[in-house]
Amino acid sequence: MKSVIKNIKLNIKLIAILFLFMGVSPSANAYPDFIGYGYSSCITCHYNSLGSGALNDYGRALFATEVTARDIFPASKSEEEVAAMSGFLGTTQLPWWFRTGIKYRGLWLKTGLTSDNSVERFINMQGDVNLNVFFNKKQDIGLITTASYAGKEFYYDKQYQWYMKEFYLRWKALKTLWIYIGQLEKAYGLRMIDHTAVNRSPLTLGQFDQSIGIITHFTYPDWDIALNAFVGNTQEKDEVKQKGFSGTGEYQVFEKFKIGGSILSSESDIKKYNLMAFTTRIGVREGSAFLGEVGIKELTDKTSNAEAKLGTYALIQAMVHLRRGYNLLSTVEQSREDINKSSREYSRWSIGGLLFLLPRTELRMMLVNGKGLDETTSIEDSWSFQGQFHVSY
């Protein structure tokens, strides 16, 4: 009973702090760095107003004309013509009630670059087919679905088969209110592409952590807030389903400068998470951007009598736009398991190129340096290379 009261108190504290931040807090994006282009709202490009998942028609056109290099097109081809070719069937329009897309991500990973135990792996990270059906021409009401293929890499206990990763009804109930019902990503923090980042998978926000739930997202020109209640992923076993709520919001201090906050509280029969984060996104100029997320994470292992671990995490990302389609990306992450006792601290710096050389593609080449700090043993640096190929058709 005491622990329940303690948890309620903590949740009330989290909510109170969130409201302090309000007028302060983040809408998450799949490419939150694109605030550098002046696009600070995710609904501009995605069907999900919190970002990630399928691109809408405008997002496809923007990807082709602003983000991707146009070296393969002759100078005589106008941006309007390039934009018109960005549909699923090129210039041929699909009927208004139907949109589809294909996404693939593959990762070539080489770890232990400077050690004798170097390991190489190729991982098919993502193979998605988006099928979206709309019930009116304005696309105010629609069914958004993502079918994915689990190959060698498991999706829960599935392998070498298709499964439904996302399926939700999106409804623009008011000019300023979006409602989402179904299985989709939880509303929390910055939705980075790197699902292994300290602010994603370690916090139950990873690649496969979509959850059945309802999200209400209020959006105004200078601020937005999303509230999410969720009960876990359909593919999870009941005892590990994380059930709870989250909230995220963002306030635009001035053009291309947003600050925000997020909270999440959820538990299964095995683990309980309480999270809180402060975020910021700054568009620097001409496509360059800075992102930051700093948070605390309380993890309780319910299978043992151990006390809850209160840890911290932080991430900063800088994207430098060199020329259209060519960017430098630098991400520094830090995580500590428990701030109340001796615990290991991890840091990781990924630096490399984020390239959009051809229409509908993305190439990432990142060199990753890892550091650890421990109060009982000193730790050597580690190095790895990540080469990532992404097709978004």
Partner 1 sequence: MKYLLIVFFVFSTVKTWADENAKPVLKQKVTSIASWGAGFSTIQWSEVLKIEQAGLATTSTANYNGVLLSVQRDVYYYSWGWSLSGVLGFGGANGGSSAGYYQKQVPFTLAGLTSRLFYRASGRLSVGASAQALYKKAKWPTENGDTVESGADMNLMGMFDMSLPIFSRWDLYQGIGPVGENSAAFWRIGVVYRY
119 binds partner 1 (CB under 8 A): no
Is the CB of residue 293 less than 8 Å from the CB of residue 190? yes
User: Would you count residue 321 as binding partner 1 (CB under 8 A)?
Assistant: yes
Among 82, 351, 358, 391, binds partner 1 (CB under 8 A): 351
116 sits near partner 1 (criterion: CB under 8 A): no
Tell me how far apart the alpha carbons of residues 169 and 91 are, in angstroms, rounded to a whole number: 28
Question: Of residues 58, 88, 383, 385, which one binds partner 1 by CB under 8 A?
Answer: 383
3-state secondary structure of 59: helix
The DSSP annotation for 105-149 comes to: EEEEEEE-TTSTT-EEEEEEEEEEEEEEEESSTT-SEEEEEEEEE
Q: Which stretch binds partner 1 (CB under 8 A): 40-48, 217-225, 231-239, 345-353?
A: 345-353
79, 286, 301, 307: which one binds partner 1 (CB under 8 A)? 286
Q: Please tell me whether residue 114 binds partner 1 under the rule CB under 8 A.
A: yes
Shortest CB 65 distance to partner 1, Å: 20
| Residue 233 or 288 with smaller CB distance to partner 1 | 288
Listed ranges 37-45, 124-132, 133-141, 277-285: which one lies at the site for partner 1 (CB under 8 A): 277-285
Shortest separation between residue 274's beta carbon and partner 1, angstroms: 27
Q: Which of 41, 146, 288, 384 binds partner 1 (CB under 8 A)?
A: 288
Tell me how far CA of residue 204 lies from CA of 58, 83, 187, 265, in angstroms: 31, 37, 11, 11
* Interface region with partner 1, contact rule CB under 8 A, candidates 63-71, 87-95, 242-250, 317-325: 317-325
Question: Does 290 interact with partner 1 (rule: CB under 8 A)?
Answer: yes
Given a contact cutoff of 8 angstroms between Cβ atoms, the answer to whether 7 and 1 are in contact is no
Rounded Cα distance, 38 and 66, in Å:
11
Q: Phi-psi region for residue 182, left (φ > 0), alpha (ψ -120 to 50) or beta? A: left
**Residue with Cβ nearer partner 1 (20 or 113):** 113
Whichever of 270 and 284 has its CB closer to partner 1, that residue is 284
Q: Which of 38, 87, 353, 372 binds partner 1 (CB under 8 A)?
A: 372
Amino acid making up residue 103: K
Which of residues 349, 385, 389, 393 is near partner 1 by CB under 8 A?
A: 349
* DSSP string for residues in 246-278: EEEEEEEEETTEEEEEEEEEEE-SSEEEEEEEE
Q: Which of 164, 181, 214, 284 binds partner 1 (CB under 8 A)?
A: 284
Q: How many whole angstroms separate alpha carbon 1 and alpha carbon 31?
A: 43
Cβ closer to partner 1: 34 or 273?
Answer: 34
Tokens 């006792």, located at residue: 341
Say whether residue 145 binds partner 1 (CB under 8 A).
Answer: no
